[in-house]
Amino acid sequence: MKGRAVLRDDKKRSDSPELRFKYLTRFQKLLRRPQAQEALEILRIYGRNCIPVPRRTERHYWSVSCLPSTSDKPLIRVNASWMELFTLYADAESIRARFIVHLSHFTTDRSSAQGHVDESFLERCVALPEDVGYFFPRGDDIFSIKIRGPASIRKFLATARILRAIRAFNLTHMNRGRNAYQGSHCYSLADRMLD
């Protein structure tokens, strides 16, 4: 959880030519977006630091979707089990991110009390205080953090306490069983994420 242990991963990844071909057009469309390179770099950072043994667990325990056809129109979404973990959106010519985590990792007293969010900590984890926001999705101990701008997203993903919280949430949902979103896994996007 602290990132000190290096877990043994597979060097070779599984592949599905059918899925690779199915989402190739969406991936090429993403590459034409002005936010593409920034989004891919952030995704690479997320994949390297937040998904345990990513090659061994790819598709079966987590997946990445390219331009998923949901009402909020994301560029990229990472899922595990039945849960969204991480999403990148276009924000004019830039990007913004949404992280789903356990609320108790972000309160002043480690409780699940919504009124105890450690806002000053969140503001210190981004480039500008106005780049961070949050809301409470349905469910116990669930917290959604919104970060605007690549500089703030990078700073957020470079904070040890944040990484521990993200890893804990991701592992919780990867341990709940097989990924329900295997059929929307974009191998071309995962190639960039895991290279």
Residue 4's pLDDT is: 61
> Is 1 within a domain?
no
The 3-class SS string of the chain reads CCCCCCCCCCCCCCCCHHHHHHCHHHHHHHHCCCCHHHHHHHHHHHHHHHCCCHHHHECCCEEEEECCCCCCCCCEEEEECCEEEEEEEEECCEEEEEEEEEHHHHECCCCCCHHHECHHHHHHCCCCHHHEEEECCCCCCEEEEEEECHHHHHHHCCCHHHHHHHHHHHHHHHCCCCCCCHHHCCHHHHHHHHC
The chain-wide mean pLDDT, for the chain, equals 91
> Is 173 within a domain?
yes
> Is 52 within a domain?
yes
Residue 182's pLDDT is: 86
Quote the crossing angle between the two packed helices 36-50 and 24-31, to the nearest 10°: 120
> Is 2 within a domain?
no
> CA-CA distances (angstroms) from residue 158 to 14, 50, 102?
29, 11, 18
Residue 175's pLDDT is: 87
> Is 11 within a domain?
no
The span from the CA of 193 to the CA of 117, in Å, is: 31
- Paired strand residues for 146: 98, 133
Domain that holds residue 188: 17-194
> Is 30 within a domain?
yes
Torsion of CA 106, 137, 52, 173, to 10 degrees: 120
> Is 9 within a domain?
no
Q: What is the total count of domains within the chain?
A: 1
The span from the CA of 15 to the CA of 27, in Å, is: 16
Residue 167's pLDDT is: 95
The span from the CA of 14 to the CA of 25, in Å, is: 21
The string of pLDDT tens digits covering residues 105-139 is 999 999 999 999 999 999 999 999 999 999 999 88
Residues in the chain with pLDDT values less than 70: 1-11, 13
The string of pLDDT tens digits covering residues 80-97 is 988 999 999 999 999 999
> Is 4 within a domain?
no
